[in-house]
Amino acid sequence: MSDTVKDTAGSLVEVDGLTVDFGGLRAVDGLGFRLERGAALALVGESGSGKSTVASALLGLHRGTGAEVGGTIEVAGLDVGRASEDALRRLRGGTAAMVFQDPLSSLDPYYAVGDQIAEVYRVHTRASRRAARARAVEVLDRVGIPDAVRRSRSRPHEFSGGMRQRALIAMALACEPELLIADEPTTALDVTVQAQILDLLHTLREETGMGLLLVTHDVGVAAESVDEVLVMRHGRQVEHGSVTEVLGAPREPYTRELLGAVPRVDAPRAGRAEPGAETGAGSDAGSGAGCDAGSASGSDGPGEPVLEAVGLHRVFGRGKKAFAAVDGVSITVRRGETLGVVGESGSGKTTLGRMLVGLLEPTAGEVRHDGHARVGVDPSVQMVFQDPVSSLNPRRSVGESIADPLRARGERDETRIRARVRELLERVGLEAAHHDRYPHEFSGGQRQRVGIARALAADPRVIVCDEPVSALDVTTQAQVVALLAELQRELGLALVFIAHDLAVVRQVSDRVAVMRRGRIVEQGPADQVYDHPQDPYTGQLLAAVPALDPAVAARRRSARREPATI
Amino acid sequence: MNGFGGFAVRRAAGAVVTLLALSVIIYVVFYVTPGDVAQITCGPRCSPAQVQQVSAQLHLDDPLYARYWHFLQGIVAGQDYSTGTSVQHCSAPCLGLSYQSDQQVLTLILAKLPVTASLALGSMVLWLIIGVGTGVLSVWRRGRLTERLLTTVTLAGMSTPVFVIGLVLMIVVCGQLELLPFPQYVPFTDDPEQWAWNLLLPWLSLALVESATYARITRAAMLETLTEDHVRTFRAYGVGERAVIGRHALRGALAPLIAVNANNIGVLFGGAVLTETLFGLPGVGREMVEAVKVVDLPVVVGMVLVTGFFVVLANAVADVLYALADRRVVLT
């Protein structure tokens, strides 16, 4: 034991044969890696791969939770498994600090941000209250919070998502740790903000010489930020090497699969089925939906408009607080095509989607179905929601949820309803036997399939998908996207695909509309918008997308930094 | 400040509507309740003529709406009452005269209110200390014997009626151990020390029963907060368990505590009948029971309105405290 301590004196992190068991379930299985001082390593994997469990283990956070940790972990020479409670507390936040994923829930909503940072600082330094507050302001200023003295007195809900993430990084910096562990630090953020946060981490690392352990499911984020990548799956290491090797020339099939599933913002949409294939799938369409027999034949070439928005406005609040979430949006969705709507959070894309479906009445303007103005919901336009967990009632079986639109339409014959639901379940790639199961028994991707089946139940002609894949892993994402494309082809559906992820939108859309502050700044054929953006904002968004090639990423970072220094 | 002004105005308007609705309900309920009010008021030995006279004097023969209108006039403009020989003036917020004693209802209630207020506020302090303390302790010692013990004790506390606890306390403390004299109400203005000593047992018995609820709320809310992400953050930054529980988890329990406490205290101002009766405290609760027994409508209505007023007031105060405790809440 003691000779290994000597041996790793130079390394910041030394993990050897790490196993973590949660009551019989092995989350991490024989993992080993080493991180030198000042170096950066990314743990990349899909949800359930055990990557976050490793991050927690580095701080000894599993102690007292019932999880069994085996193997050895040393952080800055401290044997985490054997360290005393006091030594562990000094490690946490002092030597190694963790930046968590969701910056809203990771800060205490009741206290001012500055006070929370000061509290952490005082735990490690015994500084006076005043000195701790001053330090909090200093680090907030350091991470780029404008007017840090005043903003340090704000509570987390008064910060934007990006500022909250900065505040969490500031908390991590407070005690000048040697190691920064960032667990999905940008997952909840918009792409431009993500780029800012990644740049910030990069700069801080250059200046302070901290080591960085980045945990992420996003290969692009890893490519932007680290020197080494460790790909994980089912708690085991799949591939470990320098970022250029692993991402540029992956050896393992799983790494290749993972990289293949990542949607590329710079590649045109994969080939779509010919219009002829749609009529060819007629027999299949008959099994899917009786009402669509005629629609497929009419979808050669650009179809006629099925759903139009004309001058849509939506204002929330009154008087001085009035805020136009959607401010004059006109779009057309044609039969059988996919219209992508991209924009950052707060751009009004969800509000637009809700108005298209009729869940929200526009303040001005109108929604037209087949050229006729339409008020309220209509079975022919359905919606698939972002969060498949909260958009399904946990107390009802998925079969009942899928049957809702049928019952809403007046269907009362239980055997017919059951038959149709089973048919829909199979249609979306689930099993008819899943009818009586409950949402918690399904994985995220399966739940989203249930959501799609529910949308299909009413034989819609248009489905509005609001961030349908943003909660899913890349491989699952690719499967759900493929399912949507297949359904579209076979049923002649028109899709409105709302998302913040530019790459996914490019992958699925015929035409794209870019939204910002309630307006559409640019719309047109997908390839044209992505390859020759007309609006500077579109260009800005595209430039912020993480590149999979580390060399390109570095080039872009310096390009982004140029204007920032002025 | 504008926001707060608007909040106050809206709350006041809401309170007026609530109280009016309450008074209408009481009037209707008493109107349809069987029993000859004039006979009861006059007494068992009155002749039919005397009963008739009383009935006329109390306007009992008037239709319901006329009597209610009369009542509203009294509140807004005051009222003169002739009691046969003299005329008594009851000024502006006049809730009428008691059928029984010819005393003004408001005076009657205001005379009893200090007793009830002393009881309610004093026991509130105790139940918050005992209840929240127990809750925090059981969270601190969670998973151990102490927690299970406390959970059992609080469950027992919740299911024990106040008069059982009160009686046992009285017998043991005053009867057996003779540590305190049997309680007898002494007004605060007369002798603060005696006031406190005499109220100690009533406070304690009420507080013991109520604190069980608060211990449970505190424990549940804190345990829930402990599972939240921000607690994980502070643990991952080496913040000790004491600060995590005392600063972060307890803060999360504040909102439900405020809400429940407001309701509790508001209702208590309308009288703690059992406790008052057991300890012989001349409070609002006992007066209310007496008034209902003899169908003394003006007194009952007055009591209900006063209780309603305090419930509304306590809830408004709670909302303000709530917004102070959690800055994400906007007063509307």
Strands (E), A407-493: 462-466
Check whether B160 has a pLDDT greater than 70.
yes
Give CA–CA dist A284/A297, Å, rounded.
14
- Rounded to the nearest 10°, the torsion over CA A432, A433, A438, A444 is -60
- Rounded to the nearest 10°, the torsion over CA B168, B172, B174, B177 is 180
The CA distance from B266 to the nearest CA of chain A, in Å, is 27
Q: Which helix (H) or strand (E) holds A537?
A: helix A536-544
Q: What band does A276 get if pLDDT is binned at 50, 70 and 90?
A: very low
Residues from A in contact with B at Cβ < 8 Å: 56, 59, 61, 88-94, 97-98, 100, 102, 105-111, 116, 119-120, 123-124, 155, 157-158, 168, 171
Q: What residues does A316 pair with on adjacent strands?
A: A323
pLDDT recorded at residue A19 = 93
Q: Do A120 and B237 touch (CB under 8 A)?
A: yes
The mean pLDDT value of chain B amounts to: 85
Check whether A253 has a pLDDT greater than 80.
yes
Higher pLDDT, A236 or B158: A236
The CA distance from B120 to the nearest CA of chain A, in Å, is 30
Chain B residue closest in CA terms to A55: B236
Instruction: Please give the structure tokens belonging to residue A122.
Output: 């005082």
**Cα diameter, chain B:** 86
The pairing of beta strand A179-183 with beta strand A96-99: parallel
Average pLDDT over residues B218-246: 91
A124 chain-B contacts, CB cut-off 8 A? 238
Give CA–CA dist B303/A50, Å, rounded.
64
pLDDT recorded at residue B162 = 84
Selected residues 224-263 of chain B with any CB under 8 Å from a CB in chain A: 228-230, 232-240, 243, 247-248, 251-252, 254
Q: Do A98 and B247 touch (CB under 8 A)?
A: no
Q: Do A119 and B236 touch (CB under 8 A)?
A: no
CA R_g for chain B? 24
pLDDT recorded at residue B98 = 82
Which region among A166-170, A281-285, A381-385, B298-302 has the lowest average model confidence (pLDDT)? A281-285
Closest residue by Cα to residue B291 from B311, B314, B307, B313: B307
Higher pLDDT, A488 or B182: A488
pLDDT recorded at residue A565 = 44
Cβ atoms within 10 Å, residue A173? 22
Q: What residues does B88 pair with on adjacent strands?
A: B81
Closest Cβ opposite residue B239 in set A88, A90, A120: A120
pLDDT recorded at residue A9 = 56
A/B interface, count of CB pairs below 8 Å: 77
Instruction: Please give the structure tokens belonging to residue A28.
Output: 């991490």
B224 chain-A contacts, CB cut-off 8 A? none
Give CA–CA dist B48/B13, Å, rounded.
45
B229 chain-A contacts, CB cut-off 8 A? 100, 102, 105-106
pLDDT recorded at residue B48 = 82
Average pLDDT over residues A398-408: 91
Give CA–CA dist B270/B309, Å, rounded.
9
Check whether A413 has a pLDDT greater than 80.
yes
Is the separation of the CB atoms in A232 and A46 below 8 Å? no
Check whether A386 has a pLDDT greater than 50.
yes
pLDDT recorded at residue A563 = 54
Q: What band does A233 get if pLDDT is binned at 50, 70 and 90?
A: very high
The angle formed by the CA atoms of residues A68, A20 and A65, to the nearest 5 degrees, is 45
pLDDT recorded at residue A342 = 93
Helix (H, G, I), strand (E, B) or coil at A180: strand
Closest Cβ opposite residue B239 in set A90, A123, A168: A123
Helix (H, G, I), strand (E, B) or coil at A182: strand
Could you tell me if B327 lies within 8 Å of chain A, comparing CB atoms?
yes
Q: Do A106 and B230 touch (CB under 8 A)?
A: yes
The CA distance from B35 to the nearest CA of chain A, in Å, is 52
Check whether B146 has a pLDDT greater than 50.
yes
Closest Cβ opposite residue A109 in set B232, B238, B328: B328
Check whether B251 has a pLDDT greater than 50.
yes
Closest residue by Cα to residue B297 from B88, B39, B105, B106: B105
Alpha-carbon distances, residue B57 vs B38, B159, B290 (angstroms): 10, 48, 22
Average pLDDT over residues B180-207: 86
Average pLDDT over residues A45-50: 87
Is the separation of the CB atoms in A104 and A88 below 8 Å? no
Place of tokens 């989203």: A448
Average pLDDT over residues A151-171: 89
pLDDT recorded at residue B82 = 66
pLDDT recorded at residue A410 = 85
B15's torsion region: left (phi>0), alpha (psi -120 to 50) or beta? alpha
Average pLDDT over residues B227-242: 90
Is the separation of the CB atoms in A422 and A432 below 8 Å? yes
Check whether A3 has a pLDDT greater than 50.
no
Instruction: Please give the structure tokens belonging to residue B5.
Output: 């002004």
Q: Do B238 and A107 touch (CB under 8 A)?
A: no
The CA distance from A100 to the nearest CA of chain B, in Å, is 7
Closest residue by Cα to residue A458 from A434, A414, A493, A482: A493
Could you tell me if B144 lies within 8 Å of chain A, comparing CB atoms?
no
DSSP string, B248-267: IIHHHHHHHHHHHHHHHHHH
Helix (H, G, I), strand (E, B) or coil at A422: helix
Q: Do B235 and A98 touch (CB under 8 A)?
A: no
Is the separation of the CB atoms in A458 and A428 below 8 Å? no
Q: Which helix (H) or strand (E) holds A328?
A: strand A323-334
Query: Of all residues in chain A, what percent carry a pLDDT higher than 90?
Result: 49
Measured over the CA atoms of residue A158, residue A164, residue A168 and residue A170, the dihedral's sign is negative
CA R_g for chain A? 26
Check whether B269 has a pLDDT greater than 60.
yes
Give CA–CA dist B102/B83, Å, rounded.
8
Cβ atoms within 10 Å, residue A432? 14
DSSP string, A78-119: EETTT--HHHHHHIIIIIEEEE-S-TTTTS-TTS-HHHHHHH
The mean pLDDT value of chain A amounts to: 86
The CA distance from B311 to the nearest CA of chain A, in Å, is 27
Q: Do B230 and A108 touch (CB under 8 A)?
A: yes
Instruction: Please give the structure tokens belonging to residue A460.
Output: 């819609």
Q: What is the arrangement of strands in the sheet containing A96-99, beginning at the earlier edge strand?
A: A96-99, A179-183, A211-216, A40-44, A228-233, A236-242
DSSP string, A479-527: HHHHHHHHHHHHHT-EEEEEES-HHHHHHH-SEEEEEETTEEEEEEEHH
Average pLDDT over residues B316-325: 85
The single-letter code of the amino acid at A104 is L
Which region among A54-58, A214-218, A434-438, B150-154 has the lowest average model confidence (pLDDT)? B150-154
Average pLDDT over residues B264-270: 85
ipTM over 0.85: no
Give CA–CA dist B271/B286, Å, rounded.
7
Average pLDDT over residues B279-286: 88
pTM for this prediction: 0.78
